Amino acid sequence: MTALLIRDLRLALRAGGGFGLGLAFFLLVAVLVPLGVGPEAAVLARIAPGILWLGALLACLLSLDRLFALDFEDGSLDLLATAPIPLEAVVAAKVVAHWLVTGLPLVAISPLLALLLQLPLAGYPWLLATLLIGTPALSAIGGFGAALVVGVRRGGLLLSLLVLPMYVPVLIFGAEAVRRGGIGAEAGAPLALLAAITMASLALLPFASAAALRINLR
C-alpha cells in the first residue's frame, strides 16, 4: 500500500503527471474573480468564502479523471486487482495520494488567495481549518465517481456531472464555516458537520469505489 502511494506521488511529480495543474487553476480563479466583479473590498469579502471553496472544489475535480483511468488503460488496475492487497486498500492509497498532490497544496496556498479576495482576517484560521478538514472528502468522493466511470472513454464530463452534486454538502458547510468565522459568528457547527462528512466518506467510500471498480474490470 505504501509502495502504491509512493508510486502515485512519484508519477504525479514526474513530467506530465499533472501536479500543480489544480493549484494553477485555483490561483487563476482567485485572480479572475476580482477582475470580474470589481475591486470593492466589501463585495469581495462577502463572496470570498464561497469563491475560495468553489475554486478548491473545481481544482480538485480537474485531476480526478486520471485517478483510475490511467491505471485502467495500461493494465495496472487488472494487475493490482490480482495482487495480494485488497482493492479497497488500493483505492484508499490512491485517494490519499490524490489528496497529497491536489488537496494539500490548495490548503497551503489558500491564505495567499484569501488575501487577493479580501477575506476578513478572522476568517483565515477557519479557511485553513475547513479546507484541511474538507478536501480529503473531495478526494474520497471524487475517487468514488472516478471508479464509477473508469471504463468510459472520455468520461471526464460524465465524471463532473456525477461528482459535483455529491460535493454540494461539503461546499455548503465549508463555505458557511468560513463565512461565519469571518464575521466573528459561531462557526463550530458547520465545521463539525464538515468533519463528519469527511470521516464518513473516508470510512465508507473506499468500499463503494472498490465495488464499482470490480464491476468495471469485468
Partner 1 sequence: MALDVEDLSVSRGGAVVLAGVGFTLAAGSALLLRGPNGIGKTTLLRSIAGLQPVAAGRVRAVDLTYAGHADGIKSTLTVAENLAFWAAVHGGGEIDPALAAYELTRLRDRPAAQLSAGQKRRLGLARLLVTGRKLWLMDEPTVSLDAASVDLFAGVLRAHLAAGGAALVASHIDIGLEAAVLDLARFRAVEVARSGFDEAFA
Q: Which one, 78 or 186, has the nearer CB to partner 1?
A: 78
Nearest-approach distance from CB 25 to partner 1, in angstroms: 22
Q: Which stretch binds partner 1 (CB under 8 A): 11-19, 153-161, 165-173, 176-184?
A: 11-19
- Long-range contact set of residues 16-23: C-beta below 8 Å, sequence gap at least 24: 18/63, 18/66, 18/101, 19/101, 20/105, 21/62, 21/63, 22/59, 22/60, 22/62, 22/63, 22/102, 22/105, 22/106, 23/59, 23/102, 23/105, 23/106, 23/109
Q: Which one, 36 or 75, has the nearer CB to partner 1?
A: 75
Q: Which one, 3 or 35, has the nearer CB to partner 1?
A: 3
Exposure of 177 by Cβ count < 10 A (0-12 exposed, 13-18 middle, 19+ buried)?
buried
Nearest-approach distance from CB 4 to partner 1, in angstroms: 7
How many residues bind to partner 1 according to rule CB under 8 A? Answer: 25
Distance, CA of 41 to CA of 39 (rounded, Å): 6
How many other C-beta atoms can be found within 10 angstroms of the C-beta atom of residue 150?
Answer: 24
Contact with partner 1 (CB under 8 A) among 17, 20, 111, 156:
17
Nearest-approach distance from CB 140 to partner 1, in angstroms: 22
Nearest-approach distance from CB 82 to partner 1, in angstroms: 5
218 touches partner 1 by CB under 8 A: yes
Question: By C-alpha distance, which of 148, 155, 157 is closest to 208?
Answer: 148
Distance, CA of 134 to CA of 126 (rounded, Å): 11
153 touches partner 1 by CB under 8 A: no
**Residue located via cell numbers 462557526:** 187
Site string for partner 1, 61-80 (x = CB under 8 A): ----------x-xxxx-xxx
Q: Which one, 76 or 118, has the nearer CB to partner 1?
A: 76
Q: Which one, 148 or 213, has the nearer CB to partner 1?
A: 213
Contact with partner 1 (CB under 8 A) among 11, 58, 104, 109:
11
114's enclosing H/E stretch is helix 104-116
211 touches partner 1 by CB under 8 A: no
Residues near 217 by beta carbon (within 8 Å), at least 6 away in sequence: 77, 78, 81
Positions in the binding site for partner 1 (CB under 8 A): 2-4, 7, 10-11, 14-17, 71, 73-76, 78-85, 217-218
